[in-house]
Amino acid sequence: MKTRFMIQIKSPLFACLLLSAFSIGSIDTLHAQSHGIDVTIDGISGDTIYLAHYYGNKMYYADTTVADLDGRIHFNGRLAEECGKYAIVMPGPKYFEFLAVEENIVIETSEKDPTGDVVIIESKENELFYDYMDFLSVRRQKAAPHEAVLSDSSATEASIIAARSVLTSFGNEVAEEQRRILEENGDMLFAKYLNMVLEPEIPEFPSNIVNVQDIQYRWYRNHYWDRVDFSDPRLVRDGSFHQILDRFWNKVLPQIPDSLSVEAHRLIQRTEGNAEMFKYITHFITFASESSQVMCMDKVFVDMVDTYYTTGQATWLKPDQLKKIQERADELRDSMCGSVIPNIILP
């Protein structure tokens, strides 16, 4: 997948908001850290190298340096609230991902195959990350010929059954490895990222229940966020957080403005004490409601502005940016669904 280092947005109102909400910083950590990020890239000599960080499903440049003649580079370690998924970007552009946490990180790789040639010299977090990726890579390679059988129109029924059996076995192996990682490394950042992509397992309900699908949906909706640690600010720095938030807002919840407003406040309340997650979710919902094509979603937008922006909680915005958002809400206030039209006095 090609990583984008910039984002296009159609709403003029949120062009300014985006820069403040999603750009965490474009310079290196000002205060020296006791830990650092040291990388040696075979095939690189004297090239400009960038450190980039994820924020949701987008990537932004955070720092830059120049490799020495032996391909060695160094970046300061990240502060706790800045930790998350990062990438080293080299000319091409080519890049590889790693997890920046509060520990020394020492990595070796090559310019030819940045991700495939990664060797973790020091970093327990990234050992876990890359061991899992290697595990998946091996399973994908083994699964490829069996997947080819399923897509072969001339395959016999017996070969199809055998291929499905093998693929099911591989799937079970992956699920077991995921469970092992979560049980043994639950407090590590990678485990938290992994947990976010795993769908809640809906329990079995008695088959004689008439509305079993409705009960299953309500259970899924009520337990959707069980996989997220709302106290950890690092979780917003991975694409999986954006994906589950987007799915919850646009797919899981019924697209009824009044219901969405209730769910928005309920979700945001869970971020208490976590400024980064509060900012991400608040911005996401505000932008989604302002740009939505669903009728009456302007009610959600105005409600969000009144609740979180006008009350001074959107501290990441500059005064002029905040004013534009408030003015937009005021423009929509009298014309939104359910509003009483002011009396019109004709001359």
Q: What is the pLDDT of residues 28-52, one digit of tens each?
A: 444 456 789 999 999 999 999 999 9
Number of residues that make up the chain: 347
Average the pLDDT over 110-116 and give the result.
96
Confidence of residue 337 (pLDDT cuts 50, 70, 90): confident
pLDDT of residue 81: 87
pLDDT of residue 206: 87
pLDDT of residue 340: 65
pLDDT surpassing 50 at residue 7: no
339, 319 in Cβ contact below 8 A?
Answer: no
pLDDT surpassing 90 at residue 286: yes
68, 39 in Cβ contact below 8 A?
Answer: no
The angle subtended at Cα 25 by Cα 33 and Cα 53, nearest 5°, is 80
d(Cα 301, Cα 260) in Å, to the nearest integer? 10
Query: Which is higher by pLDDT, 100 or 11?
Result: 100
pLDDT of residue 130: 98
Average the pLDDT over 262-284 and give the result.
97
The three-state secondary structure class of 50 is strand
290, 328 in Cβ contact below 8 A?
Answer: yes
Confidence of residue 5 (pLDDT cuts 50, 70, 90): very low
d(Cα 291, Cα 277) in Å, to the nearest integer? 21
The three-state secondary structure class of 254 is coil
pLDDT of residue 345: 73
Instruction: List, for residues 119-160, the tens digit of each pLDDT value.
Output: 999 999 999 999 999 999 999 999 999 999 999 999 999 999
- Structure tokens belonging to residue 62: 């955070």
Q: Which residue from 111, 264, 277 is spatially nearest to 192, judged by alpha carbons?
A: 277
d(Cα 6, Cα 308) in Å, to the nearest integer? 27
Average the pLDDT over 186-196 and give the result.
97
Average pLDDT of the chain, as a whole number: 90
pLDDT of residue 10: 44
pLDDT of residue 12: 47
pLDDT surpassing 80 at residue 93: yes
pLDDT of residue 166: 96
pLDDT of residue 80: 86
pLDDT of residue 230: 97
Instruction: List, for residues 47-67, the tens digit of each pLDDT value.
Output: 999 999 999 999 999 999 999
Q: Which residue from 227, 203, 241, 180 is spatially nearest to 57, judged by alpha carbons?
A: 241
Share of the chain above pLDDT 90, in %: 81
Average the pLDDT over 108-120 and give the result.
97
Average the pLDDT over 285-309 and give the result.
95
13, 331 in Cβ contact below 8 A?
Answer: no
